[in-house]
Amino acid sequence: MEPLMKKLLLSLGLLVSVSAVAEQAQQATGKVSNALAPIGIVIHGGAGTIMRSSMTSEQESAYHATLKHAVSQGYAVLERGGSSLDAVSAAVIILEDSPLFNAGKGAVYTWDETHELDASIMDGSNRNAGAVASVTTVKNPILLARAVMEKSVHVMLSGKGAEQFAQEQHLVQVQNSYFDTEFRLEALKKAKQSIEPVPHQAYVPYDPAWKMGTVGAVAIDKQGNLAAATSTGGMTAKRYGRIGDAPIIGAGNFADNASCAVSATGHGEYFIRYQVAADICARVKYQNKNAAEAAHEVLTELKQIGGDGGVIVVDYKGELSWVFNTEGMYRAMQSQGKAPISEIFGSGQ
């Protein structure tokens, strides 16, 4: 629509969409405000071959309970006027602390039977971001990513430097064995059996049956600000030092008030090469696409070249969605005034 025509319609009171208001605010201040959009939050706990037949009803209930708890804690932050950054952090901490998911406690094992964690967070109001890669002693990597964003001049820290920064920031540090779980050790053994033994395996064929379990959250707050957070142990049997998409801004995580916020899960190498999170938001911004449609397009294209995974999205209008090209994705959402919903199985496209 021509800007002149838009102005005319606006002055006639015929077009009062959130997007138009946001655009006007952007013209006036150089910043995007989506303040009329409803609040909302979406979370994920990983995508893969997740089948009801391979899960007991107790396990299923435990997943639903934790997903609902995490999403409602995030929503509570938004409802009392807290920021989307605080909401995504609150939800992700709960998922990191749960052994059910591949982030924090319950993280997958590297080939060498250790854990190396990646995480990132992004503030859609100013496109500030923080990320950490290959950390081994930080109990909640999402808090470290946030500290990198807020307390350092950098966007990404890795390994020893990141651990040292965690210490300076007085974040809780643990022994690497804190992240151990039997279930993930079994997954590592299975992965090793299925491939040729090569020390520090550089290439392990991704098997979605190993149930990834990366976690993430996206949210929009009362000010209309978007945020995204992603945290993971990476991929089972990864080579030590391997960094996935979760801490790569634009790949596994992205937020921009002018378009959308995305957190991804799946085969990280593909998500990095195809800049999945940023590509979805670029399609919203430059092609005026609906965010769910943009996510659907990108995940379909990714599947065609062999990239498995899924995303959760919130756009500048406050629309919440999830899209995945695998058999399941642990997911939950809570939109304004509604009860939280959680799902595990089903088609994601």
Name which of 234 and 318 has its Cβ closer to ligand ASP.
Answer: 234
Which one of the spans 156-164, 187-195, 260-268, 333-341 is the region binding ligand ASP (CB under 6 A)?
260-268
Residue type, 195: I
217 phi, psi to nearest 5 deg? -150, 145
Residue type, 111: W
Q: Are 136 and 115 in contact (CB under 8 A)?
A: yes
Name which of 257 and 265 has its Cβ closer to ligand ASP.
Answer: 265
Query: Catalytic residue among 66, 110, 136, 214, which?
Result: 214
Strand 328-335 and strand 156-158: the pairing is unpaired
Give the whole-angstrom CA distance, residue 246 versus residue 349.
22
For 313, counting Cβ atoms within 10 Å of its Cβ (0-12 exposed, 13-18 middle, 19+ buried), the class is: buried
Q: How big is the site for ligand ASP, counted in residues (CB under 6 A)?
A: 13
The reply on whether position 263 binds ligand ASP by CB under 6 A is: no
> Is 331 annotated to bind ligand?
no
> Is 268 annotated to bind ligand?
yes
Q: How far is the CB of 308 from ligand ASP (least distance, A)?
A: 9
Give the whole-angstrom CA distance, residue 221 versus residue 281.
18
The reply on whether position 312 binds ligand ASP by CB under 6 A is: no
Binders of ligand ASP among residues 219 to 238 (CB under 6 A) are 232, 234-235
Name which of 247 and 318 has its Cβ closer to ligand ASP.
Answer: 247
Name which of 157 and 311 has its Cβ closer to ligand ASP.
Answer: 311
Which one of the spans 4-12, 91-99, 120-128, 244-252 is the region binding ligand ASP (CB under 6 A)?
244-252
Name which of 224 and 252 has its Cβ closer to ligand ASP.
Answer: 252
The reply on whether position 246 binds ligand ASP by CB under 6 A is: yes
Which of 134, 214, 231, 335 is in the footprint of ligand ASP by CB under 6 A? 214
Q: Are 303 and 285 in contact (CB under 8 A)?
A: no
Give the whole-angstrom CA distance, residue 324 versus residue 38.
24
Give the whole-angstrom CA distance, residue 203 versus residue 198.
9
The reply on whether position 265 binds ligand ASP by CB under 6 A is: yes
Name which of 82 and 328 has its Cβ closer to ligand ASP.
Answer: 328
> Is 265 annotated to bind ligand?
yes
Which of 144, 156, 212, 314 is in the footprint of ligand ASP by CB under 6 A? 212
Give the whole-angstrom CA distance, residue 41 versus residue 73.
10
The reply on whether position 275 binds ligand ASP by CB under 6 A is: no
Binders of ligand ASP among residues 25 to 64 (CB under 6 A) are 46
Residue type, 310: G
State yes or no: is 214 an active-site residue.
Answer: yes
Which of 40, 106, 244, 250 is in the footprint of ligand ASP by CB under 6 A? 244
The reply on whether position 268 binds ligand ASP by CB under 6 A is: yes
> Is 242 annotated to bind ligand?
yes
What mask, x for binding ligand ASP by CB under 6 A, covers residues 143 to 182?
----------------------------------------
Catalytically annotated residues:
214
Binding residues: 242-245, 265-268
Binding residues for substrate: 242-245, 265-268
State the residues that interact with ligand ASP by CB under 6 A: 46, 212, 214, 232, 234-235, 244-246, 252, 265-266, 268
